[in-house]
Structure 1
Amino acid sequence: MDEHAAHMTPEEFRRHGHAAIDWIADYWASLDELPVRAQVAPGDVRRQLPATAPEDGEPFEALLDDLDRIVVPGLTHWQHPRFFAYFPANSSPAAILGDLLSSGIGAQGMIWATSPAVTEVEQVVLDWFADALGLPAAFRSDGPGGGVIQDTASTATFTALLSALHRASGGEARVGGVGDAQWRVYGSTQAHSSLVKAAMMAGLGEDAVRTIDVDPATQAIDVDALRDAIVEDVEAGRRPVMVHVAAGSTSTGAMDDLAAVAEVVRERGVWLHVDAAWAGVAAVCPEHREHLAGVEAADSFVTNPHKWLLTTFDCSTFWVRDRDALTGALSILPEYLRNAATESGEVVDYRDWHPQLGRRFRAVKLWAVLRTYGLSGLREHIRSGIALAGHVADLVAADDRFELVTEPVLSLVVFRLRAGDEQTLAAMEAVNASGEAYLSHTTVNGRAAIRLAVGSWRTTRHDVDRAWRALQEAATQA
């Protein structure tokens, strides 16, 4: 064999690229009749794979064959039109092509100088998106803050906490660590688990997170209880550092009263982080911005186009009001990264905006989505999901065996069988096991409930009705 690796020629790459796109298109075409949830047992996929990598290269066609033979049967199909579990993870055609272009460019955008376009396209795209969501001008790149694409909202929450610690400690946290201070982070009992993980990674420990009760009816944070908890901690010598607001909780889509929480935060100068990972993108529709009322008081805000807004994972858009707190917490400039542009102070180096140094050109796929769908197309997609969820709520109300647990929130419906927890979970699992649809569950006020989240770019009313019929049949057997 030649001493050099056998790279594809441009023509081979073109041919295999066409084959890969054809495979994706065929996969989408077959999804409707595939079982939504993987039908394999632990170890089934692993046993079909060789124990070692091949010594010599194999044809690319062999990889595509194994996708069909081994991988597809072991997938839970997140792009399936009847995937209603968790929240959607859209991977639309435009976003896929954008991601492919990003991979082909293969740029490393850790600092402006390593690829100026990577940084500046991202800044412009996030300014567009901030405007589309109705976010405050302070979040724009030409304001005191700015936006950056993180991998996930979990990383965004961690980054927000590091920024909050930097500001609250006067910069001491980045030099001497968190020290002996008893820092406190606040979120409701419905806050995402990434809040606790952020406290763990920041060295505060999970005990630093104080969970606040919620209103049983709305599942939104009890603002009076939050105020009391902060006062109690301050009087005990503890140091409140950040409050996490859920604008669309994972469990039920609960919307904390952002404006009311902002009033509590304003009294104490505590960092306010808004986690709108799923629901934030709905603000592209002006009529669906009420859950972001008060966002102008937020110190940081995150929402994920890779959930409900047609953008391939990973693409979590994160904005801060004051970039100095963010870069102050994370900026490190080793000698090998020194360059004239950075030292001029005229550019943004995104390596200072998140824990990672290296970063890829994520903005291309969001740019592709914004340009090919346009804001009108994105609004149509969001409104369609909300309308389908309203249809689900009507179906629940029309069947006396079921009841709504909370009022539907945007495209999420939470309901249960009146017969009880055992029957509710049994019916859901029967549907999931059949492969006809995929639903998830939660617990609300101590009782089991089914979550049905609409949002796939391929879901139609027919898919909702088909999933509902399967659930009705399962309820009869439960």
Structure 2
Amino acid sequence: MDWLGQMLGLPQSFVFSGTGGGVIQGTTCEAILCTLVAARDQMLAKVGRENMGKLVFYGSDQTHCALLKAAKVAGLECKNFRAIKTMRSTAFQLSAESLRTTIRLDVEAGLIPAFLCATIGTTSTTAVDPIRSLSEVTKEYGMWIHVDAAYAGSACICPEYRHFIDGVENVNSFSFNAHKWFFTTLDCCCLWVKDPGALTKSLSSSAEYLKNNASDSKQVVDYKDWQITLSRRFRSMKLWLVLRSYGVENLRNFLRSHVKMAKRFQQLVESDNRFEVVVPRNFAMVCFRVLPTSLKKEPNGCKIESGNIEAKLIDQEYANDFNRNLLETVNASGKVFMTHTIVEGIYVIRVAVGATLTEDKHVIKAWKVVQETVDGMLATI
């Protein structure tokens, strides 16, 4: 964990050679649950356990649903989850000002801000929340801030992408999934905490039959106190093999090649005026769609004109249906597999590059399949 922490440029406060430490969890769901429980107990120690129903936890409307699930398991009130709205115009980032405004309203209502989950590379569009400015807000209220970099954390071992986690020195915990974009098999979520004591205080167990001299004398890290379960698989071996087999430079080059191929796909999309890239590409995923203006049919006889809001809504629905059918047809071909999301009411098709055997020719072929499918669909309109 220290090796990987050093590759990411994590501060000494997050690694064992400093004052923190890391643990391999199964998934991000577990990492968020463990840190949320630690944050809950840390805050309740200050305000009293009778105020548990007042604790509020925050994310954006792009934050992974694992946060809400973790809150349910941790016994927090689901009504106290604040999914702060983000906008396409700001690339679906969580705004520090929006966070501050939301927290201020909660405090005025007698509630207690306790936890924020910021994301580096959201599931829908790989949006990046600004850690530094968000951490300045959470610091004002003594909140725990966790950074979920499940997908994009891997890229931050490359110096040119390290800026995406600038400000990480101000957060309480950080995690990313090596099984997503780091060539490691499921499951392998790497979690670092600045204060291991906060985690172990909430998760430790001390039955007589679990006691041993090595743990009691602190000769070893007893990971049963860093996670939900007492037992654990030997997950470190597969991650160690990836690190030792590839080496830092080869890992960086693989990640860079994926980003380069995604950029190539983006350029292909942008070269065809029937399509648009819906949100800026940050890493190796491209979000695109066929534009409503490329669909010749005017649904319900409604002419699309500037200012005609009803017509624009109908146009959007028609475009969404077209893109949904496009994705289903492309995937049914068996030649390529893509996924989707919906943001601000827009149905988006997503292409992610991340496999070790993917080459530029595969990306070009994927685009050719999309174009040919669209040609055939438009011909029937």
Judge same fold: TM > 0.5, yes or no.
Answer: yes
CA distance in 1, matches of 2:181, 2:212: 39
1:143 pairs with 13, 18, 43, which one?
18
Partner residue in 2 for 1:46: none
CA distance in 2, matches of 1:449, 1:213: 18
Unaligned runs of 5+ in 2: 293-318
CA distance in 2, matches of 1:350, 1:191: 27
User: Any residues of structure 2 matched to 1:244-259 within 5 Å, and which?
Assistant: 244-259=117-132
Q: In the alignment, residue 282 of structure 2 is paired with which amino acid?
A: V
1:211 aligns with 2:88: no
Partner residue in 2 for 1:449: 348
CA distance in 1, matches of 2:165, 2:87: 19
Partner residue in 2 for 1:436: 335
CA distance in 1, matches of 2:219, 2:212: 12
2:103 pairs with 230, 240, 248, which one?
230
Partner residue in 2 for 1:70: none
Partner residue in 1 for 2:310: none
User: Any residues of structure 2 matched to 1:144-159 within 5 Å, and which?
Assistant: 144-159=19-34
1:469 aligns with 2:348: no
CA offset at residue 172 of structure 1?
A: 8.7
CA offset at residue 180 of structure 1?
A: 4.7
Partner residue in 2 for 1:260: 133
Secondary structure class of the residue paired with 1:181: helix
CA distance in 1, matches of 2:360, 2:206: 53
CA distance in 2, matches of 1:304, 1:416: 28
What is the Cα-based RMSD across aligned positions, in Å?
1.4
1:369 aligns with 2:245: no
Partner residue in 1 for 2:306: none
Alpha carbons 2:120, 2:164 under 8 Å: kept: yes
Alpha carbons 1:158, 1:198 under 8 Å: kept: yes
CA offset at residue 468 of structure 1?
A: 0.9
Secondary structure class of the residue paired with 2:83: strand
Partner residue in 1 for 2:189: 316
Q: In the alignment, residue 194 of structure 1 is paired with which amino acid?
A: A
Specify whether residues 333 and 171 from structure 1 end up closer, same or farther in structure 2 by C-alpha distance, changes over 3 A only: farther
Which runs of structure 1 show a deviation greater than 4 angstroms over 4 or more consecutive aligned residues?
none
CA distance in 1, matches of 2:203, 2:371: 52
CA distance in 1, matches of 2:354, 2:73: 32
Q: In the alignment, residue 155 of structure 2 is paired with which amino acid?
A: A
Partner residue in 1 for 2:278: 405
CA offset at residue 303 of structure 1?
A: 0.4
Alpha carbons 1:306, 1:312 under 8 Å: kept: yes
CA distance in 1, matches of 2:215, 2:325: 59
CA distance in 2, matches of 1:320, 1:342: 19
Partner residue in 2 for 1:336: 209
Alpha carbons 1:305, 1:315 under 8 Å: kept: yes
Unaligned runs of 5+ in 1: 1-125
CA distance in 2, matches of 1:277, 1:139: 17
1:246-274: CA deviations, max 9, x gaps?
11000000001111101101111100000
1:199 aligns with 2:71: yes
Identity level (%): 42
CA offset at residue 222 of structure 1?
A: 2.0
Secondary structure class of the residue paired with 1:289: helix
Alpha carbons 1:412, 1:454 under 8 Å: kept: yes
User: Any residues of structure 2 matched to 1:38-437 within 5 Å, and which?
Assistant: 126-170=1-45, 180-217=52-89, 218-419=91-292, 420-437=319-336
CA distance in 1, matches of 2:281, 2:257: 15
CA offset at residue 291 of structure 1?
A: 1.0
In the superposition, the TM-score normalised over structure 1's length comes to: 0.72
CA distance in 2, matches of 1:183, 1:403: 42
Alpha carbons 2:131, 2:167 under 8 Å: kept: yes
Secondary structure class of the residue paired with 1:234: helix
CA distance in 2, matches of 1:180, 1:337: 30
CA offset at residue 347 of structure 1?
A: 2.6
Alpha carbons 2:12, 2:19 under 8 Å: kept: no
Q: In the alignment, residue 251 of structure 1 is paired with which amino acid?
A: S
Partner residue in 2 for 1:121: none
Specify whether residues 396 and 314 from structure 1 end up closer, same or farther in structure 2 by C-alpha distance, changes over 3 A only: same
1:178-198: CA deviations, max 9, x gaps?
755311000000000101101
1:63-108: CA deviations, max 9, x gaps?
xxxxxxxxxxxxxxxxxxxxxxxxxxxxxxxxxxxxxxxxxxxxxx
Secondary structure class of the residue paired with 2:23: strand
1:128-184: CA deviations, max 9, x gaps?
0000011111111132220000000111011110110121111898xx6x7553110
Specify whether residues 269 and 362 from structure 1 end up closer, same or farther in structure 2 by C-alpha distance, changes over 3 A only: same
CA offset at residue 345 of structure 1?
A: 3.1
CA distance in 1, matches of 2:246, 2:52: 51
Aligned residues: 350
CA distance in 1, matches of 2:166, 2:212: 42
CA offset at residue 208 of structure 1?
A: 2.1
Secondary structure class of the residue paired with 1:149: strand
